[in-house]
Structure 1
Amino acid sequence: MRKSMPEQNTVPTSHEVGSFFRQSETSLFAIILICGGLLAGLAFLDSGQHGLSLVGLGVALGITFMGFQYGFASGWRRFLQIGDGSAVSLHFILAALCALVFIPVTASGLGPSGSLAPVSVSLFVGAFIFGVGMQLANGCGSGVLFSFGGGSGRMIVALPFFVMGSVIGSVILPTFLTFGSLDPIEIGASLDLSGKLGLNLLLLLGAAGLFFWLGRRQGFGLTKRMLGATILIAVLCWAVFMVSRHPWGVTFGFTLWGAKIANLIGLPIEQTTFWNWPGPQRALTHSVLSDTSSLMDFAMIVGAGLWASLSGAFGKADWPDGAQLFAAAIGGLLMGIGARLGFGCNIGAFLAGTASGSMHGWIWFVMAMAGSVLGIRLRARFGF
């Protein structure tokens, strides 16, 4: 009697993925290094020393975020689940450090300017949606980038859906803005520079102190290692601000990638309202390497990949089960839509906004934290 062959499992296991990466890390390092060199060369040809500087800063940010595993989604989740406010405290310390440069330089009229955005219905909706998505995907905008560069199976799925959601968000944003929108509200706008800076630092460091105190009540505290990482990231953010003339942002690059792909497959994305606004229209008609966010996103992936291949992190890469990959896809889609409706992610909206003295950054934080509450509850349905 003929025996039937056992059904083969075509989905790679976590062990198989990790084994593959361990055996290939030297080759991966060489490939990523070559890709980084090509990116740097193309950026130099496109925009000279300016582009080359942005690539260097993006690579440095990728290495730093990957090396320190500096994320937002997991830190916010730890606060909401077990009361550990240390990571959130660090995020506000980072914003305060950035404010030390963003606010005075903007006021000086030297050229670089902070990030201000309207207080709108779309901001409230978008930030909340983003908060849900980042908990389902287990990463925010910067987290998706550096984890993708580090070989995370979850982010390999989340990133394409993030890009797709960003395009959807760009199409519906003009409609959402008609539901109600106020001009940007600048905290301390009526004060002189010292008063404005002092008020914003008081708010940011006060929030940092509050979350630190909440964490200490549960036995958690700040570590010198993560404080050092926060200072290093702040220095890199200062450099990005001075070179690019605006605060670091992540998600517009994803939106641009999606719009370029839409154009390639024949979708008339250039006819939509968003892509006829001056900034987006200029980005769509130029190279993806001409846009600061897009260029730095590519560079951040390279930097994270270089660190992962040197440190052995690729060997620890996992491939989640189908339910968690499905959650990553949904999370990526929600983050993409939310980022456009809410004017950015944890970096471009929360960090850049609060560090620039913009009210929208604070609103984004509150609504994204509220969305995280729902996202955490939904995670259990996907096997987390």
Structure 2
Amino acid sequence: MTQATALPASAPGTLSRASVLLLVSALVVGVALVAGPRSGAVLAIGLGFGLALEGFRFGFTGPWRRMILERDASGLLAQLLAIGIVACAALPLLAANGAELKGAHAPIGLAMVGGAFVFGAAMQIVLGCGSGTLVNAGSGNAVGAVALPFFAIGSFAGAYHLTWWTDLGSLPVMALSGVGGLAVTLAGLAGLAVLALVLGRKGSHRLPARYWGAALVLAALAILHLVVAGQPWGVVYGLGLWVAKAVVAVGGDLSGSVFWSAPANAAQVEASLLTDMTSLTDLGIIGGAALVAWWRAGFASPVGVLPARAWVAVIVAGLVLGYSSRLAFGCNIGAFFSGIATGSAHGWVWFVAAFAGSYVGIRLRPALGLEARR
């Protein structure tokens, strides 16, 4: 997660930490009473994701950046470890409970590959992927806070136009399953880990304790999310849904979009936000990251000085992040993490394209004025 710039300092105030934890617990219970135990549980899992990502200072963008610039493979290895653990549980669960659980499966196509590449570049510009932008915004990072609403707008727009893009050409959905699928997935992860070790600098195979903790906790939460929510951990759909609801609330018409007028999505737009599993997880991530930041010392941290062009770049990158992630059928979480963990071939292609895009984003960042001056 980027720490380059942050919102103004804010002290914890008069509430004790125990009081805040009690309020958060009451919120989860309240959601469970209003929308059902499942919704309350998913919100709690989302809080867990936010607590883990910010608490362990772990993400997906930063480790890729360090692998490219410093040949530090440790963060990428921790990600692969977490995905492998989830796969060991998710693939058998999907095979045994296909009617109740669904995987993060999507087709490989021209728009999907292009979207993943562009997403990889944009996430390095703002130093935040889908989950990273949520965590950065929740923890008081100004770049994340500015990028998040535009990410949501881009996600809505990308979904609105999705059919036009997929009509450019795509393959049928390809997904691994069962024992054989698990073996292939683990072999692929092991092969990617070996490649990272070969390309990484000496000693970067040693994972610090916080990486081990992050990998194990995130894997456990992801498995729990699949079981409770009935779907893998994802981010992007919820953000677009928030904007879709706002558009309808002000009298907008979504009938012109094949995606938003589809029965399931149209029903979700009309339903309570507390019934959407992805939205609950996203809100939980923001809240969990905010709790960690508040617990540590409020939201105080040095504020970097960024030129005007940098803030324009953040807004544009936020829009691009949302739009491209819809075309790519997910971000680092929904496509890379959950896609590979549930056997989707598109997750592997997404990783290659997004990692290549990250090279571009890393080189664009200084030119856009996003290396903060102190």
| TM-score for the superposition, normalised by structure 1 | 0.88
Q: How far 1:251 sits from its partner (Å)? A: 1.0
1:377 to 363, 367, 372: 363
Say whether 1:81 aligns with 2:69: yes
1:301 to 283, 286, 290: 286
Residue 330 of structure 1: aligned partner: 316
Unaligned runs of 5+ in 1: 1-13
Q: Distance in 2 between matches of 1:28 and 1:345?
A: 36
Secondary structure at the counterpart of residue 200 of structure 2: helix
2:103 to 111, 114, 123: 114
1:205 to 190, 194, 214: 190
1:227 maps to amino acid: W
Q: How far 1:180 sits from its partner (Å)? A: 0.5
Residue 333 of structure 2: aligned partner: 347
Distance 1:130 1:249, change over 3 A: same
1:92 maps to amino acid: L
Listed as ranges, the matches of 1:196-275 within 5 Å are: 196-217=181-202, 221-275=206-260
Q: 1:222-271 CA distances to partner (integer Å, 9 max, x unpaired)?
A: 22321121011100111001001111101111000111111223332244
Distance 1:359 1:221, change over 3 A: same
Say whether 1:194 aligns with 2:194: no
Q: Distance in 2 between matches of 1:319 and 1:259?
A: 34
1:127 to 102, 116, 125: 116
Distance 1:25 1:331, change over 3 A: farther
Asked whether the equivalents of residues 130 and 335 of structure 1 are also in contact (C-alpha less than 8 Å), the reply is yes
Q: Distance in 2 between matches of 1:219 and 1:336?
A: 32
Say whether 1:57 aligns with 2:12: no
Q: How far 1:64 sits from its partner (Å)? A: 0.7
Q: How far 1:34 sits from its partner (Å)? A: 8.0
Q: Distance in 1 between matches of 2:150 and 2:16?
A: 25
Distance 1:278 1:334, change over 3 A: same
Asked whether the equivalents of residues 153 and 320 of structure 1 are also in contact (C-alpha less than 8 Å), the reply is no
Q: How far 1:91 sits from its partner (Å)? A: 1.2
Distance 1:292 1:73, change over 3 A: same
Q: Distance in 2 between matches of 1:219 and 1:351?
A: 21
Q: Distance in 2 between matches of 1:266 and 1:32?
A: 37
Q: How far 1:324 sits from its partner (Å)? A: 3.1
Distance 1:32 1:155, change over 3 A: farther
Task: Give the paired residue count.
Answer: 365
Which stretch shifts more, 311-320 or 50-59? 311-320
Runs of 4+ in 1 over 4 A off after TM superposition: 24-35
Which stretch shifts more, 26-35 or 355-364? 26-35
Residue 285 of structure 1: aligned partner: 270
Say whether 1:95 aligns with 2:83: yes
Q: How far 1:42 sits from its partner (Å)? A: 4.8
Q: Distance in 2 between matches of 1:233 and 1:219?
A: 21
Q: Distance in 1 between matches of 2:305 and 2:281?
A: 28
Q: Distance in 1 between matches of 2:196 and 2:91?
A: 24
Q: Distance in 2 between matches of 1:333 and 1:174?
A: 19
Q: Distance in 2 between matches of 1:368 and 1:100?
A: 24
| TM-score for the superposition, normalised by structure 2 | 0.91
Asked whether the equivalents of residues 197 and 204 of structure 2 are also in contact (C-alpha less than 8 Å), the reply is no
Say whether 1:316 aligns with 2:301: yes
Say whether 1:365 aligns with 2:354: no
1:127 maps to amino acid: A
Whose helix fraction is larger, Structure 1's or Structure 2's? 1
Q: Distance in 2 between matches of 1:293 and 1:177?
A: 23
Q: Percent identity?
A: 35
Residue 40 of structure 1: aligned partner: 28
Unaligned runs of 5+ in 2: none
Asked whether the equivalents of residues 74 and 205 of structure 2 are also in contact (C-alpha less than 8 Å), the reply is yes
Q: 1:307-333 CA distances to partner (integer Å, 9 max, x unpaired)?
A: 111112611263652343322212211
Asked whether the equivalents of residues 44 and 52 of structure 1 are also in contact (C-alpha less than 8 Å), the reply is yes
Secondary structure at the counterpart of residue 315 of structure 1: coil
